Amino acid sequence: FGAINRLDNQDPKVKEKIQFIKNYTPTTEFPGDGLLKLAKLAVIVEDWVLEKELDGFAFQCWPSIQDNFGIVPCAVMSMFSEGLVPAACEVDISGLIGMYILQLASDTPSAILDWNNNYGDDPDKMVLFHCSNLPKSFFKDTRMTIHPIISDQKGEDVTFGAIQGRIKSRPCTLLRVETDDIFGEIKALLVEGDYTDDELNTYGGFGVIHISKLQELLKTLCYDGFAHHVAASLSQVGEIVHEALFKYLGWNIKFFNH
């Protein structure tokens, strides 16, 4: 925030980012100086990424940034992920590693999602969702809005910058990487599924996904200690990821529905 405060509003980099954000996705009305704040954050993060030669990053996206700066960083993180610099929310470094692996395997942007809700009574379908910082290419269409969840707690004036829309109906590969601190090893869970066109009216970055033997998968997540986040790619690259992580890196990886 110190670097942002030292950045002049008329800096050419800031003006360039303002235009980039406007071109990135349609937006609802910008509240106050929300667009300027997003642009400044994007400039500082980009400088940091270049200076440190980062392949990706994760940082705390709530609640401090709303209290101290007055935006949600979702749109900025979405833009970096779309540009093949994966950005994970909630300081999820394990999730970032999963995103980066899927990006390398598919040569396309990756996202981080929540294992969220069941879809009606269908045992093999669920809502795979985030609130959201998904890359633009994941969506059928997008819009930038007030954050639909954090605004209830913090107010609309400090929560602009979320990306919302329906995820495309495509094959999908999911990967969760964890460290097993008891056995001192890296473990991973790899899953393939398909986003569908099933009816769903909600907020965030959302879609319905079909995964065979989903109920067994949910038990595996709980029993084997995997977090509620999962990295996702709109591509079918499970075989590539499994070969790389198991054969060459020797990780303890479970290819669930292979």
Q: Quick: pLDDT tens for 224-253.
A: 999 999 999 999 999 999 999 999 999 999
Domain boundaries, the chain: 2-255
Task: Find out whether 111 and 232 touch, Cβ atoms under 8 Å.
Answer: yes
Fold of 2-255: L-fucose Isomerase; Chain A, domain 3 (3.20.14)
Gap between the Cα atoms of 153 and 151, Å rounded: 5
Q: Compute the mean pLDDT over every residue in the chain, rounded to the nearest whole number.
A: 95
Q: What's the pLDDT at 85? A: 99
pLDDT digits (tens, 9 = 90+) for 28-68: 667 768 999 999 999 999 999 999 999 999 999 999 999 99
Confidence check: pLDDT of 2 > 90: no
Lowest mean pLDDT: which of 24-28, 191-195, 222-226, 252-256? 24-28
Interatomic CA distance for residues 227 and 14, integer angstroms: 37
d(CA 177, CA 86): 15
Is-above-0.75 flag for pTM? yes
